[in-house]
A = this chain, B = another copy of it.
Amino acid sequence: MAHGLTTTSYAILGLLALKPWTTYELAQQMGRALGQFWPRAESKLYEEPKKLVALGLATADRESVGKRRRTVYSITDDGRQALSRWLPLAGAPPVLEFELLIKVFFAEHGTKDDLLATIGLVRAWTEAQATLGVHITGEYLEGRGPYPERLPWILLTGQFLQDFLNMVELWADRAAATVETWPDDIRTATPDVGVLEAMAADNRAILERADQRRRASPPAAEP
């Protein structure tokens, strides 16, 4: 990471590259545009642009609305270049933190109803996410979504998030159905070996497809 810049630094630079924003707008836009795959605490989003200014990657324009002060940040040419230099560098793969899944992992310490309630919370989350998703897709379908010229690659990220949501919902459905078949004392439940075998088969299939891609193209074509 160049000069103490973090992924969040680059994310902010990416947004500034679109247009200048007030800090409040930046914080909001970070939440809306990136919050599902790069959630950041608001206070840090107020700090970060100051750092960019100190490094000459952004500029700060203080202005007033009545007696209220606000700061509009803009990207500099150096900022654009920093962003472009970062983009092709290797980045981190997905990192997941899922507290509810910890509760599933330690289900033996609770009841069948506890476990079903946990799965229910997962479902509630998928519902809230789907409600949000309907609004966002609706905006773009009505031609009102922000930055439509960026839609081709925005759709890639959107598709990822949608796939994730669909996956979580489907998992919750199946998990609930499975747990419902268990005895009241879940500690006496028996595992479904078929699930294990299917997982093993899925992994082998992934490895096989990776192999095929390697054989279909020279090593230089892969990172």
Contact = CB atoms under 8 A, between A and B. Distances in A.
For the side of the interface on A, what is the size category?
A: 35 or more
A65 interface: no
Contact of A200 (B11, B137, B164): B137
Contacts of A38: 97-99, 101-102
B121 A91 contact: yes
Interface in A152-207: 152-160, 162-171, 173-175, 178-179, 182, 186-187, 189-193, 195-197, 199-200, 202-204, 206-207
A2 interface: no
Given A96-B96, A99-B91, A207-B131, A104 B195 contact: no
Contact of A39 (B33, B95, B159): B95
15 contacts: A14-B106, A37-B96, A38-B102, A94-B164, A96-B164, A105-B153, A105-B154, A123-B213, A123-B222, A130-B203, A133-B200, A141-B200, A159-B175, A166-B202, A169-B206
